[in-house]
Structure formats: C-alpha cells, structure tokens
C-alpha cells in the first residue's frame, strides 16, 4: 500500500502563504489527494505538421520534469499523469508562422503535462489556446537550449465555469530569449504560476500578462523569476482590470536574485485598474537580492481607479466621457494585447474584452 502520508501532509489548507489568496473550496478538490482526477491528453496541434517541429505523446517516465516545485497541485499532476505531450522545436529551426496548440478538456476533472523544448538557436512562437469548459490542473515546462528564441503565448479564454490551475515554467538556457504573454479573461477560477529559471548565463526573459476579472471571477497569477545564475535578465509587466463587486485578482511577483547571480538585470511592474466598487486586486511584488553586484533591480505596483487627468485630457478634445473611458481601457489592454503580433488573436481578444465591458456597463 502506498503511503498517503507525505501527500496528505502537503495538502493545502488555505493558511499557507502560497494558498492564502485562493478560495480552496472553488478549485474542485484538485489539490486534494482524495479527489479522483483523470489523466488525459488535452493538448493538440492546430493545423498540419510543418517542418521545424513535431508534436508527440510520450511516456511521462521518458520526459521527467527538470524543475522543482513545491506546489501541491503540480506535484499531484506529476505523480498522476502517465502520458506527456511533447512539442519539440528542432535545433536551428526558424518556424515563421505561430504554432497553435489547442486545449480540449473533457467534462471531468483532469490533469495534463506538456513539455516544450526549443532546440539551440531555434526561433518560434507557440500559442496555447485554452477555451471551453474545463476543470483542469496542468503543467507546461518550457526548456530553451542555448541561443533559442521562444515566444510563448497562453490564452485563458475559458467559458465562465472553468477552473484552471497551472504552472508554466521556463528554463532559459545560455543566451536564450524567452518571451511570454499570458492573457486571462475567462474562467471562474484561474490560478497560474508563470515561472522562470536560468540554466546558464546570458538568458533573457520577458513576462507580459493581462487579466480582466468581472463579477465572480478569481484570477490569480503568481510570477516567480529565479535568478540563480549570473548575467540573467528579466522583465515582468502584468496589467489587470477589474469590474464587478465580486471581481477578484491576485498578482504575486517573486523575483529572487541569489548570491551568485551577479550581473542580474530585472524589473517587474503590476498595474491594476478598478472600474467598480467592491472589486479587489491584491498586488504583492517581492524582490529579494542577495548580491550587490547587479545591473539593476526594481519593482512597481499600482492599483487605482480611472486617472482623472487622462479623462480630462481626452474630454478636453471633445471626446464624451463614455468614449474617453473606453479609450483608456482599450489602451490599457492594448499595450499588452498588441505585443501578441497575431492579428486574428488580437482582434478576438479585444472583441471579447469589449463584450465583457459592455456587460458590466463600465
């Protein structure tokens, strides 16, 4: 008989720092060993296979995780999943058109593990589209070999009752460039861990994020950048809008610069715009620096309502207040959305955001 003790011992209660913001009763027991969770391949390639990469299903034992995690749900996923989806981008391949991976979760609770490997000096953009109804725990581990340049876009466009707990972890190799854009607009409860570590010097990571919570949504992003290697660079910019009395967002920005990580250059920023009373945005930037030999380190966090000066400026040019507000909101979103660089995706997101805005009446 397997000992249930270690896992039981780690089951979150809600009192832990990592879980204190998350309403545990709304995560369908995904954290609880007593909950039965299916193991299913839910990621598939959109369109046909092209040259420069391949997508295949592997035995989990052939593709074990290369990163450590203390997250109870992710540990459950790792121990419970038998098959792993592997997107492998060939060494030196330049894949010009984005690689779209679509999530088709089933009706039941399920776990998923995905590994993306970007071969040395490859260049590609990967888009993961999370749509529809799901109760999902998932991990995507992204490994960048030397000189690889990968843009990883994860879109949480879930339908309203979806529950999504996930970790998107990048391991950035020597002189590699990891750009990520995380957009979360759908779902009842989404808790994501966009995390980065460096396996060699000269790596660079940019993490952009955008979340929009309307009434009843809990959208949580727990960024963690681990500078444990010299001469790494990171930039984190997450922006959120909240509308509706029960709209709830959490942003944690942990950046750790370890004692040996000399030459680190990092900056993180979180901005939240509250459109209505009662919405709550928690924003916790946390920068820990164990060496003074760095290029730069900083963080900033703002949470507030409409900037009266912006509205005044726009209105003084004849723009009515409702249009002025819409411009400011669209601008706020647009700053991140426009970085996607895929017109169809950008338009789809802005349309969805507009629709959600019109429902809350701004």
Partner 1 sequence: MSKLVIKNLHVGVETDSGTTEILRGVDLTINSGEVHAIMGPNGSGKSTLAYSIAGHPKYTITSGSVTLDGVDVLEMSVDERAKAGLFLAMQYPVEVPGVSVANFLRTAATALRGEAPKVRTWVGEVKEAMNKLAMDPAFSERSVNEGFSGGEKKRHEILQMELLKPKIAILDETDSGLDVDALRVVSESVNRVKAEQNLGIMLITHYTRILRYIKPDFVHVFAGGKIVEEGGPELAERLEEKGYAQYVKA
In 3D space, the residue among 337, 356, 350, 353 whose CA is nearest the CA of residue 153 turns out to be 337
Q: Which is nearer to partner 1, 218 or 325 (CB)?
A: 325
Q: How far is the CB of 335 from partner 1 (least distance, A)?
A: 4
Q: Which is nearer to partner 1, 25 or 317 (CB)?
A: 317
Q: Which stretch binds partner 1 (CB under 8 A): 55-63, 132-140, 198-206, 327-335?
A: 327-335
Q: How far is the CB of 328 from partner 1 (least distance, A)?
A: 6
Among 332, 345, 353, 356, binds partner 1 (CB under 8 A): 332
Q: Which is nearer to partner 1, 252 or 324 (CB)?
A: 324
Q: How far is the CB of 201 from partner 1 (least distance, A)?
A: 31
Helices (H), 24-177: 72-80
Q: How far is the CB of 353 from partner 1 (least distance, A)?
A: 12
* Contacts of partner 1 in 24-53 (CB under 8 A): none
Instruction: Record the tokens describing residue 334, joined without a space.
Output: 């647009």
CA distances from 294 to 19, 124, 231, 297, 361 (A): 31, 30, 8, 8, 47
Q: Which stretch binds partner 1 (CB under 8 A): 69-77, 147-155, 221-229, 331-339?
A: 331-339
Mark residues 283-322: x for contact with partner 1 by CB under 8 A, - for none: ------------------------xxxx-xxxxxxxxxx-
The DSSP secondary structure of 161-211, one letter per residue, reads T-EEEEEEEEEE-TT-EEEEEEEE---SEEEEEEEEEESSTT-EEEEEEEE
CA distance 138 to 136: 6
CA distance 355 to 326: 12
Q: How far is the CB of 243 from partner 1 (least distance, A)?
A: 17
Q: How far is the CB of 68 from partner 1 (least distance, A)?
A: 37
Mark residues 159-198: x for contact with partner 1 by CB under 8 A, - for none: ----------------------------------------
Q: Which stretch binds partner 1 (CB under 8 A): 64-72, 91-99, 107-115, 324-332?
A: 324-332
343 makes contact with partner 1 (CB under 8 A): no
Q: Are 189 and 216 in contact (CB under 8 A)?
A: no
Number of residues that bind partner 1 (CB under 8 A): 25
The phi, psi pair for 131, rounded to 5°, reads -130, 165
In 3D space, the residue among 233, 65, 61, 69 whose CA is nearest the CA of residue 143 turns out to be 65
Q: Which is nearer to partner 1, 92 or 323 (CB)?
A: 323
Q: Are 112 and 176 in contact (CB under 8 A)?
A: no
Instruction: Record the tokens describing residue 224, joined without a space.
Output: 């963690």
Q: Which is nearer to partner 1, 46 or 321 (CB)?
A: 321
Q: Say what angle helices 321-337 and 343-360 make with each other, to 10 degrees.
A: 140
Q: How far is the CB of 63 from partner 1 (least distance, A)?
A: 40
Q: Are 53 and 88 in contact (CB under 8 A)?
A: yes
Q: Across the chain, which distance is largest between two alpha carbons, in Å?
A: 74
Among 293, 338, 351, 358, binds partner 1 (CB under 8 A): 338
In 3D space, the residue among 332, 336, 330 whose CA is nearest the CA of residue 352 turns out to be 330
Binding site for partner 1 (CB under 8 A): 307-310, 312-321, 323-324, 327-328, 330-335, 338
């Amino acid at each position: 008989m397997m000992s249930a003790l270690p896992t039981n011992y780690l089951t979150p209660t809600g009192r832990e720092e990592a879980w204190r913001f998350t309403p545990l009763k709304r995560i369908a027991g995904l954290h609880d060993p007593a909950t039965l969770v299916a193991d299913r391949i839910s990621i598939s390639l959109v369109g046909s296979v092209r040259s420069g990469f391949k997508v295949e299903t592997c035995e989990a034992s052939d593709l074990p995780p290369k990163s450590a995690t203390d997250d109870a749900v992710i540990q459950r996923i790792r121990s419970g999943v038998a098959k792993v989806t592997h997107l492998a981008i060939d060494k030196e391949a330049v894949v010009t058109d984005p690689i779209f991976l679509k999530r088709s979760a089933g009706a039941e609770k399920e776990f998923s593990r995905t590994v993306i490997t970007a071969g040395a000096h490859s260049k590609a953009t990967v888009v993961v589209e999370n749509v529809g109804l799901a109760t999902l725990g998932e991990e995507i581990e992204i490994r960048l070999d030397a000189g690889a340049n990968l843009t990883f876009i994860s879109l949480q466009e879930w339908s309203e009752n979806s529950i999504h707990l996930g970790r998107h972890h990048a391991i950035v190799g020597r002189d590699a460039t990891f750009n990520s854009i995380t957009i979360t607009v759908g779902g009842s409860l989404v808790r994501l861990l966009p995390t980065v570590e460096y396996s060699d010097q000269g790596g660079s990571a940019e993490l952009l994020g955008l979340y929009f919570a309307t009434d009843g949504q809990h959208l949580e992003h727990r960024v963690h950048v681990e500078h444990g290697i010299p001469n790494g660079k990171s930039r984190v910019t997450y922006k959120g809008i909240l509308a509706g009395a029960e709209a709830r967002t959490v942003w944690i920005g942990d950046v750790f610069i370890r004692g040996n990580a000399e030459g680190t250059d990092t900056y993180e920023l979180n901005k939240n715009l509250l459109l209505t009373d009662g919405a709550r945005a928690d924003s916790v930037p946390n920068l820990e620096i164990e060496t003074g030999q760095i290029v730069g380190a900083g963080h900033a966090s703002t949470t507030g309502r409409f900037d009266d000066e912006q509205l005044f400026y726009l209105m003084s040019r004849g723009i009515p207040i409702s249009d002025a507000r819409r411009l400011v909101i669209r601008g706020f979103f647009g700053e991140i959305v426009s970085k996607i660089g895929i017109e169809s995706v950008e338009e789809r997101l802005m349309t969805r955001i507009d629709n959600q805005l019109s429902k809350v009446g701004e």
